[in-house]
């Protein structure tokens, strides 16, 4: 079984290694007067050949004579001469092509061809990937930038606006500029194969004078075409919150003061009641008079004392004790 697997690997590996393959993005947008980069990778049967032993050619459709790129510039048709170059290294299986000064008729299809040139003699090891070509959609005008921000800025706080634009020429990225000052952060990234995004993030401290003003972002593409977009900034002043903050603060303050006042009044009422009761007892039993120095020695005095005590219990709520009424009487 082991021998069978080894024999199978020996016989299959040449077949797999002799495959000719190319990988391209088959549809891309191209801005007229600007540039475009067509990403491309390939496989060929003889691995590890240096770039000097490989020849990469781009041509239009199945017509191999309509060459748009060749390392021999004289082989390139006049319409594309000096406008194309290979960005990738063939030794790394990279066949990426750049086209500059895009014309409105540069729509393709563009197909890649690889030739193995191990000597100066003509080679039979060559392949045109006519099944994997690239069609271009021509854009007469550049895309409009996309602006994103929060709806309302607050006075004194940092306000952030993001401006982004897509393109297909990472070798000459668009430049984004603003109509006002601030800190700017730039980001370049590939969002899909062959499609890139340039992003500019503007940060500034919002002021009252910025309210209802327009902030615009302008994108300038390679080839000098431009597009712009604007956004209106609305600034919320901190003074506008006073009609909410001040009444709330006043209401809370009044509530706190009233609560403290009520607590103090309750304590004062309890204290005055206690003092009044103490005063009544002292007046009835402590203050001596000539009449009551010998009071209580007789039975009639004892009966009278009981009447006074019962009378005190009934009239405490009115603040007058029975002893006092008896004294007055």
Alpha helices in the chain (DSSP H): 2-17, 242-285, 299-315, 322-328
* Contact in structure between 30 and 139 (CB atoms under 8 Å): yes
Instruction: Give the per-residue pLDDT at 255.
Output: 76
Q: For 62-90, give the DSSP string.
A: T-TTSEEE-SSGGGS-GGGTTTEEE-S-G
Instruction: Give the per-residue pLDDT at 290.
Output: 43
Instruction: Give the per-residue pLDDT at 310.
Output: 56
**C-beta pairs of 279-283 under 8 Å, 24+ apart in sequence:** 280/312, 280/316, 280/319, 280/320, 280/321, 280/323, 280/324, 281/321, 283/321, 283/323, 283/324
Q: 233 to each of 54, 65, 180, 215, 321, how far by Cα in Å?
A: 57, 57, 12, 7, 79
Q: What is the dihedral of CA 60, 63, 66, 68, to 10 degrees?
A: 30
Instruction: Give the per-residue pLDDT at 274.
Output: 56
**C-beta pairs of 85-90 under 8 Å, 24+ apart in sequence:** 86/56, 87/37, 87/171, 88/40, 88/41, 89/51, 90/51, 90/54, 90/55, 90/56, 90/114
**Domain range list for the chain:** 18-139, 146-236, 241-328
Q: Which residue has the tokens 């062959």?
A: 194
Q: Quote the CA–CA distance of 298 and 293 in Å, as a whole number.
A: 13
Burial of 232 (0-12, 13-18, 19+ CB in 10 A): exposed
Strand, helix or coil for residue 26: coil
What is the fold, at CATH topology level, of the domain defined by 18-139? Immunoglobulin-like (2.60.40)
Tokens of 168: 């297909």
The reply to whether the predicted model has a pTM over 0.75 is no
Tokens of 55: 């020849």
Q: Which residue has the tokens 């045109």?
A: 128
- Please state which architecture CATH assigns to domain 146-236: Sandwich (2.60)
Give strand pairing partners of 42. 22
Strand, helix or coil for residue 181: coil
- Spatial strand order of the sheet with 158-167 comes to 146-149, 158-167, 195-205, 183-192
| Domain 146-236 in the same topology as domain 18-139 | yes
Instruction: Give the per-residue pLDDT at 46.
Output: 72
Contacts of 22 (CB under 8 A, 6+ apart): 40, 41, 42, 43, 95, 112, 129, 132
In the predicted model, residues of the chain with pLDDT beneath 50 are 1-17, 281-297, 317, 319-329
- Spatial strand order of the sheet with 126-128 comes to 67-69, 54-60, 110-116, 126-128
* Contact in structure between 131 and 22 (CB atoms under 8 Å): no
Residue 176 has φ and ψ, to the nearest 5°, of -110, 130
């Amino acid at each position: 079984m082991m021998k069978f697997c080894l024999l199978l690997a020996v016989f299959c590996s040449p077949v797999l290694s002799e495959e000719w393959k190319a990988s391209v993005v088959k549809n891309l947008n191209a801005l007229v007067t600007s540039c475009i980069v067509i990403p491309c990778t390939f496989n060929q049967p003889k691995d590890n050949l240096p770039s000097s032993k490989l020849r990469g050619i781009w041509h239009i459709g199945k017509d191999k004579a309509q060459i748009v790129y060749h390392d021999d510039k004289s082989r390139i048709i006049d319409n594309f001469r000096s406008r194309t170059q290979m960005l990738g290294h063939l030794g790394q299986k990279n066949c990426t092509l750049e086209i500059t000064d895009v014309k409105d008729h540069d729509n393709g299809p563009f197909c890649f061809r690889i030739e193995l040139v191990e000597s100066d003699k003509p080679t039979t090891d060559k392949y045109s990937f006519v099944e994997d070509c690239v069609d271009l959609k021509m854009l007469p005008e550049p895309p409009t930038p996309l602006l994103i921000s929060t709806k309302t800025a607050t006075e004194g706080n940092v306000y952030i606006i993001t401006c982004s634009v897509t393109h297909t020429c990472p070798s000459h990225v668009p430049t984004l500029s603003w109509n006002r000052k601030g800190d700017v952060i730039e980001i370049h990234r590939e969002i899909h194969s062959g499609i890139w995004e340039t992003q500019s993030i503007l940060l500034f401290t919002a002021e009252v004078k910025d309210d209802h003003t327009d902030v615009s972002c302008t994108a300038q593409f390679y080839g000098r075409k431009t597009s712009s977009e604007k956004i209106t900034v609305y600034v919320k002043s901190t003074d506008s919150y006073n009609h909410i903050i001040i009444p709330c603060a006043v209401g809370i303050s009044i509530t706190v003061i009233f609560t403290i006042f009520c607590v103090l009044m309750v304590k004062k009422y309890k204290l005055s009641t206690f003092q009044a009761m103490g005063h009544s007892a002292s007046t009835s039993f402590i203050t001596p008079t000539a009449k009551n120095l010998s009071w209580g020695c007789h039975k009639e005095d004892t009966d009278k004392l009981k009447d006074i005590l019962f009378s005190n219990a009934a009239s405490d709520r009115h603040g007058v004790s029975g002893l006092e009424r008896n004294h007055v009487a």
